[in-house]
Structure 1
Amino acid sequence: MIELVKNVEPDLVKRLVELEISAFDDGGLNKWHLVPLIRHGRVFIIRKDQEVVGLIQYMLDWDCPQRAYMVGVSTDKNFRGKGLGTRLIEESFKSLYREDITEIELTVDPKNAAAVAIYEKKLGFQIIELRENEYGPGENRLIMKLQLDNFMQKL
């Protein structure tokens, strides 16, 4: 089950932080990031047997309000490789499209070949730029974009 998080619930926020740390170590979001994203952005979760096993967060691009920036996506390590993360992404895209979002942008580590392949081949993102040292020396990021109209036509 996929749902938009609308309320800040301490136990849920705690679980989301656990998923973020598990996926990204010190690069994961904490409660100070997640609460504002719940209140002012979009945070979607996926459950398996009532347990939250994944989340994805978005914020609007102030320079292009029809563009949402995908902050991150995390899946419980015990549920990776089962298609739940992809389902979460796809369902969140549908929801954003209904809110008149026309484009999704994200960044990804160019060394994360599995993620790049999913974004490109499975979801239709295009690499538009390589930003060197985006998060410090050696922390390069690929900038990828998806036109939601194209994505929705493939469904």
Structure 2
Amino acid sequence: MIELVRTIEPRLIQRLVQLETEAFGAGGMNEWHLVPLIRHGRVYVIRENHEVVGAVQYMLDWDFPQRAYMVGVSISREVRGRGLGTKLLRESILALAQDHIEQVELTVDPDNAAAIAVYEKKLGFQAVELRLDEYGSGENRLVMHLPVAAFPVRPEKK
């Protein structure tokens, strides 16, 4: 079960920063990014044994308010490979659909084949653009879209 984060709790913020640093190093979000996203965007977490083991953050696109942009997703190293990240993404996208979101957009490192496979094969995202030097020289990003209306409601069977 995922949870929408609605309150600013220092311990939770600290854990989210820890997950972000583990996943993205210096490029991860800190409390200065997470607090506004909690207040003005959507931040969902997934827990295991009461411990937050993953998080995903979304913000709205001002030019297309029915589109949510996935700012980031991070899963604790200890639980990777068990499907919790896919579950977090699936359930958070279904929650966004309840908020009348029609499309989800994300960017991913085009060399991150594992993430791209999850986005395409398990969630239905489609690559729509390659942005060269998006975060600086050599930091390319693959843009992917998911039309929420086409999103599979039921989890895939293994």
SS of 1:133's partner is coil
Distance in 2 separating the partners of 1:2 and 1:147: 21
Query: Cα RMSD (Å) of the superposition?
Result: 1.0
List per-residue Cα deviations over 1:25-46 (Å, max 9, x = no partner). 0110000000000000000000
Distance in 1 separating the partners of 2:74 and 2:154: 24
Distance in 2 separating the partners of 1:154 and 1:92: 13
In the alignment of these two chains, the number of paired residues is 155
Distance in 2 separating the partners of 1:101 and 1:94: 9
TM-score if structure 2 supplies the norm length? Answer: 0.96
SS of 1:33's partner is helix
Distance in 2 separating the partners of 1:109 and 1:130: 10
TM-score if structure 1 supplies the norm length? Answer: 0.98
Counterpart of 2:10 in structure 1 is 10
List per-residue Cα deviations over 1:11-32 (Å, max 9, x = no partner). 1000000000000001100000
Within 5 Å, give how 1:97-136 maps onto structure 2.
97-136=97-136
Counterpart of 1:62 in structure 2 is 62
Alpha-carbon offset, residue 153 of structure 1: 5.6
**Partner amino acid for 2:37?**
L
Alpha-carbon offset, residue 121 of structure 1: 1.1
Distance in 1 separating the partners of 2:151 and 2:17: 30
- List gaps (5 residues or longer) in structure 1: none
**Partner amino acid for 1:7?**
T
Q: After TM superposition, which residue ranges in structure 1, 4 or more long, deviate above 4 angstroms?
A: none
SS of 2:138's partner is coil
Alpha-carbon offset, residue 154 of structure 1: 6.2
List per-residue Cα deviations over 1:124-151 (Å, max 9, x = no partner). 1010000000000000000000000100
- List gaps (5 residues or longer) in structure 2: none
**Partner amino acid for 1:89?**
L
